[in-house]
Amino acid sequence: MRTHMQRYAKYVTPLAVIVLVSCLMTLMFYPMMNANMKELPVAILSLDEGAKTAQGDMNVGDVMVDKLTESAKSSDSDGQAAIKWTKVSTQKELGEGFDNRDYYAAIVVPKDFTAKQMAAKQAAVKQNVESATALAQVMTQAQTQAAQQGLTGEAAQQFVQASLQKAAAEQAQSAGASEASSSAAAETGANVKLVIDNAKSPLIANLLKQSVPAMLERTGAAVKVTVLNEGDVTTNSSLPTAAMMGQNVLIMPVYMMSMLVSFLVVGAFARKNYDDRTQRWATFGGQLAAAAVWAFCVALGADCIFAMLGSGWLPGSMLGFLWFASFALMTLFLGLMNVNKFLGLGCGLLGLGLGMTSGLLPYELLPEFWQNWVYGWVPQHFIGDGVRAVLYRGGGWWNVGSGPLLIILCVGLVIFVCAGLLPLGRHRASEVSDK
């Protein structure tokens, strides 16, 4: 029977590898190919005090807020809007929301927005009236001149038309000059302010830079964009996605190297090295000590990858965080592999496939399955949060991603304890049979 299995293994094994790799690649790239923005939290703060007009009180800021929220609700047919607007009352409340990473961006309407808008409309109406009056005067003067020159009929009409065209051209030139001065004035005027938090998600930050100004311009508002937490990440690429991929060269190599090194460490500290619980616990201690050393090497390896790709060397706080992340992952993998080596390797590969995009794509872009069943536990999610906290917020090695990784480390230690309590009988028997 064993001979028959070995005979067919050379045909079945390549097929199994093809199926395994195909499934793994599908898990990796499915979220990216099916990403769809849903209920992205964006704050909106209107400080507009309004203005009094002949028709009554008017507040353009409130009208704009209503238009934005209504358009967002009607933009998605299944009831889930692309942007989830959250109205805040004060600048302090908005600042606290950014500090707590509640919002990807915010729209701030200044207090004199209505007054400036009304002044601009009144100036435009005045300019149109003045232009029409000037053209009427030119036409009257041209008709008088044509009569003085003795022109009649078609010749008089051509003379008047030429005079009007010349006057219109002069008005167009003056309008262009006044438009330039108006644009310069708008730079210092009451524009709507778009504030984007780059640290929460560089990918979303780039999307919002392109989409939100176009949305606001449809309401007739000029937009001034301010980016928070830009960081000092450098890249030689002109593509806006380069910064996003810069995170991935830290997240995925750390995960993959930690998994592979764990597999090798378990092989180096094999079960044949102990035949009682004392030796087993000593072996486990050696595994953890080796993991602590190799985790630092993993962090250095990620640093070298980051530097060789043209993004510069990482700060010491990032090395500390990556070491901690790698050590937490190795503790979990080693614990699982001590229970069963292929169980640990299978869980590692499953985490690799499911978590590939969870460290890069925010929750609001992921498919529903990933949102409900994957995003909350895959390590890449927490490594990505920590990487962004250091790169863009200037945080230390202990940051928003460190706490969840500490939980993963503790889970790995619990699995170590469970593996240590497993019976030894079958391992002794196998060693006796080998002798």
Q: What is the DSSP string of 400-418?
A: TTHHHHHHHHHHHHHHHHH
Whole-angstrom distance, CA of residue 82 vs CA of residue 101: 18
Query: Around 279, how many Cα atoms within 13 Å sit in the side-chain half-sphere?
Result: 11
* Tens-binned pLDDT, residue by residue, of the chain (435 aa): 556 566 666 667 788 888 888 988 898 889 988 888 888 999 988 888 766 666 666 677 777 777 776 766 555 545 677 888 888 888 899 999 999 999 999 999 888 777 776 655 545 544 554 465 655 565 666 667 666 666 666 766 666 576 666 666 766 666 554 454 344 334 445 688 899 999 898 889 988 888 888 877 776 678 889 999 888 776 666 565 666 667 788 999 999 999 999 999 998 876 655 667 888 888 899 999 999 999 999 999 999 998 888 778 899 999 999 999 999 999 999 999 999 888 999 999 999 999 988 888 899 999 999 999 999 999 999 999 999 999 999 899 999 999 999 999 999 999 999 988 887 754 443 444 444
Longest dimension (CA), the chain: 130
- Residue 333: count other Cβ atoms within 10 Å of its Cβ: 27
Express each pLDDT in 119-155 by its tens digit.
555 455 445 544 656 555 656 666 676 666 666 667 6
Whole-angstrom distance, CA of residue 188 vs CA of residue 182: 10
Amino acid at 40: L
List % helix, strand, coil for the chain (3-state, nearest 5): 70, 10, 25
Q: Tell me the percentage of the chain whose pLDDT exceeds 70.
A: 69
Rounded to a whole number, what is the distance in angstroms from the first to the last CA of the chain? 25
Pair type for strands 192-197 and 223-228: parallel
Global confidence as pTM: 0.78
Query: Around 299, how many Cα atoms within 13 Å sit in the side-chain half-sphere?
Result: 26
The token pair at 313 is 């060397």
Task: Outline where 269-315 has alpha helix (H).
Answer: 277-306
Task: Tell me the average pLDDT of the chain.
Answer: 79
Whole-angstrom distance, CA of residue 262 vs CA of residue 271: 15
Express each pLDDT in 203-232 by its tens digit.
899 888 888 888 777 766 788 899 998 887
